[in-house]
């Protein structure tokens, strides 16, 4: 139970590992990040019976986030909030329910930060931290899960400290440590892991650290890897504009 929850909470977007389902998830991932939302949704629903229910929830929420929030110039926040609510569970008694709840909380936190709903974000952070702490394990994770666990840990460390008051001791130091961890993970040979790290590092440097010089290489890689993703192109252009 604990390993499932940790794995899926690491999925700020999506990830899968060595199994027959990988090719399906990876194809959906590629279509989504090239912003072929119709194709990605058709593939997702056509393969619903072949995808674990937890991964189906992750893919569905991530799809809605890209389609309605971060991957469009005409956001539909109401639709995303409805989709998020659809996968939010009040009673989480099983490992599957807890994992899905962790996933939805992670998207909710990102959404609230993006829309500057800081009071709600602080509340969501507290709920997320409490749930994650209750499921945390000291058991050694399998090699294929190590990178995702490290990525999640770094992301959680960064935003956990970012939301603290500026005068809190070690706030900046802890944020820098998290960025260093993510930078190391950028060297991953796993393409999906590398994509997630590149996106979060680029967005963090550009939007939260106000440092386009450190952000630009990640958007250059993302734009090259997913040339049809307009948002990656726009973020790269934003970096260039600020640097010039």
User: In this predicted model, which residue has the larger pLDDT, 29 or 237?
Assistant: 237
Same domain, 122 and 160: no
Q: What is the dihedral of CA 155, 161, 162, 166, to 10 degrees?
A: -160
pLDDT for residue 18 is more than 60 = no
pLDDT for residue 20 is more than 70 = no
Same domain, 178 and 60: no
pLDDT for residue 19 is more than 50 = no
Token pair of 217 as six digits = 């290489």
Query: Across all residues in the chain, what is the average pLDDT?
Result: 81
For 48-57, write each residue's pLDDT tens digit.
Answer: 998 877 678 7
**Dist CA 11 CA 104 (whole Å):** 10
Name the pLDDT band for 141 (thresholds 50, 70, 90). Answer: very low
Mean pLDDT of 3-18: 42
Same domain, 12 and 71: yes
**DSSP letter assigned to residue 12:** S
Mean pLDDT of 131-159: 65
- Per the structure, how many domains does the chain have? 2
Element (H, E) at 133: helix 118-135
Mean pLDDT of 77-106: 79
Looking at residue 10, its pLDDT comes to: 43
Q: What is the pTM (predicted TM-score) of this model? A: 0.78
**Dist CA 48 CA 127 (whole Å):** 29
Q: Would you report the helix, strand and coil content of the chain in percent, each value rounded to 5?
A: 75, 0, 25
Domain boundary among 109, 139, 169: 139
Residue 66's domain comprises 1-139
Looking at residue 143, its pLDDT comes to: 54
CA separation, residue 191 to residues 29, 103, 233 (Å)? 11, 21, 19
**Dist CA 129 CA 149 (whole Å):** 15
Looking at residue 233, its pLDDT comes to: 96
Same domain, 132 and 13: yes
The answer to whether 40 and 28 have CB atoms below 8 angstroms apart is: yes
Nearest-5° Cα angle at 178, 8 to 81: 45
For 187-223, write each residue's pLDDT tens digit.
Answer: 988 777 788 899 989 999 999 999 999 999 999 999 9
Same domain, 16 and 123: yes
Same domain, 109 and 208: no
pLDDT for residue 3 is more than 70 = no
Q: In this structure, what CATH number is given to the domain that contains residue 175?
A: 1.25.40
**Dist CA 64 CA 41 (whole Å):** 10
Token pair of 139 as six digits = 């058991």
């Amino acid at each position: 139970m604990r390993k499932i929850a940790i794995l899926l909470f690491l999925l700020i977007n999506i990830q899968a590992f060595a199994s027959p389902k990988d090719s399906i998830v990876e194809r959906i991932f590629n279509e989504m990040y090239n912003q072929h939302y119709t194709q990605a949704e058709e593939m997702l629903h056509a393969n619903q019976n072949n995808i674990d229910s937890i991964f189906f929830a992750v893919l569905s929420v991530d799809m809605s986030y890209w389609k309605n929030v971060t991957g469009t110039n005409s956001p539909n926040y109401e639709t995303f909030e409805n989709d998020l609510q659809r996968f939010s569970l009040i009673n989480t008694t099983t490992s599957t329910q807890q994992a899905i709840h962790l996933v939805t909380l992670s998207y909710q936190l990102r959404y609230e930060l993006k829309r500057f709903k800081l009071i709600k974000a602080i509340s969501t952070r507290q709920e997320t931290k409490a749930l994650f702490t209750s499921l945390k394990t000291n058991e050694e994770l399998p090699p294929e899960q190590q990178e995702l666990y490290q990525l999640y840990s770094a992301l959680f460390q960064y935003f956990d400290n970012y939301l603290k008051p500026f005068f809190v001791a070690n706030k900046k130091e802890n944020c820098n440590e998290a960025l260093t961890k993510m930078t190391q993970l950028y060297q991953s040979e796993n393409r999906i892991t590398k994509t997630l790290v590149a996106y979060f590092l680029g967005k963090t440097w550009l939007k939260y650290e106000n440092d386009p010089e450190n952000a630009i290489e990640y958007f250059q890689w993302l734009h090259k890897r997913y040339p049809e993703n307009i948002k990656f192109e726009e973020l790269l252009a934003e970096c260039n504009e600020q640097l010039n």
